[in-house]
């Protein structure tokens, strides 16, 4: 059996989530409360993931990043338009949107057979929140930084390997989009090689697929030779 790559976090025991063996509450009551708790975590994951930190950061300095550069609210465009410091701030904030919901779910959800799946779903939903933000009319970013937070929770070693891939790809090609696509696309492979469970590998595959889908315009520009280079800012 493949091992889970979650951090060793002990689940908090909540009074109303008694185990069946305790027989303190009817099984139906426990099931309903567990379901409601899962829904609460899913909703919280989406709402947190939907916060457009890139736009918030740019508004703080009087600029709407959606009207500048690539018009994307992600860390890359913020860095181009507002500088590396604010770009880094956006990267960290967006990354935490993916990491914190999974951390909270792993800590507070009761131990059960489907806990791993529920925690992973929180990560996927956070990424979807960033990509389709309710605060922006269901528009958003491309999800790379938020996905980074998800991948970091799943396996820091896998992130380390893909970070090397990202740096090498950007250095060679000059395109951040190439680095992002390759780094994300290879994460499922690294997780599989590291012995992750099928749920974790599938989660990474879903998130990587979402990233590729949101980068379809970049892919078209790369194929047509019209993508802007990070090195020169030109085609």
Supply the pLDDT for residue 3: 47
Supply the pLDDT for residue 11: 40
Domain count of the fold of the chain: 1
Residue 120 lies in a domain: yes
CB 126, CB 104: distance < 8 Å: no
- Residues spanned by the domain of 109: 20-224
The Cα–Cα gap between 179 and 189 comes to 16
Residue 122 lies in a domain: yes
Supply the pLDDT for residue 114: 87
Residues forming a β-bridge with 133: 139
Q: Which residue has the higher pLDDT, 189 or 112?
A: 189
- Helix locations, the chain, DSSP H: 27-49, 53-60, 75-82, 84-108, 115-131, 144-154, 156-173, 176-193, 198-214, 216-224
The Cα–Cα gap between 170 and 176 comes to 5
Can you tell me whether residue 55 is helix, strand or coil?
helix
Supply the pLDDT for residue 215: 93
Copy the structure tokens of residue 235: 């085609």
Over range 149-154, report the average pLDDT: 97
Supply the pLDDT for residue 227: 85
Residue 12 lies in a domain: no
Confidence check: pLDDT of 64 > 70: yes
Residue 180 lies in a domain: yes
49-77: buried (b, 16+ CB within 10 Å) or exposed (e) per residue?
Answer: bbbbbbbebbeeeebebbeebbebbbbbb
The model's pTM is 0.84
Over range 74-79, report the average pLDDT: 92
């Amino acid at each position: 059996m493949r091992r889970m790559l979650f951090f060793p976090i002990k689940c908090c025991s909540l009074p109303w989530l008694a185990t069946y063996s305790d027989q303190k509450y009817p099984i139906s009551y426990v099931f309903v409360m567990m379901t409601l708790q899962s829904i609460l975590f899913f909703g919280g994951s989406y709402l947190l993931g939907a916060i457009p930190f890139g736009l918030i950061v740019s508004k703080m300095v009087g600029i709407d990043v959606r009207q500048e550069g690539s018009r994307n609210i992600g860390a890359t465009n913020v860095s181009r338009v507002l500088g590396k410091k604010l770009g880094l701030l956006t990267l960290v904030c967006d990354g935490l949107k993916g990491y914190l919901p999974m951390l909270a779910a792993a800590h507070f959800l009761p131990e059960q057979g489907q806990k791993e799946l529920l925690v992973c779903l929180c990560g996927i939903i956070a990424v979807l929140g960033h990509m389709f933000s309710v605060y922006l009319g269901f528009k958003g970013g491309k999800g790379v930084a938020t996905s980074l937070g998800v991948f970091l929770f799943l396996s820091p070693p896998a992130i380390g390997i893909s970070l090397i891939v990202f740096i090498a790809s950007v250095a060679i090609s000059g395109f951040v989009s190439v680095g992002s696509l390759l780094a994300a696309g290879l994460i499922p492979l690294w997780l599989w090689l590291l012995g992750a469970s099928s749920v974790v590998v599938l989660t990474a595959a879903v998130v990587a697929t979402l990233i590729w889908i949101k980068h379809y315009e970049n892919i078209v520009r790369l194929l047509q030779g019209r993508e802007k280079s990070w090195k020169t800012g030109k085609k």
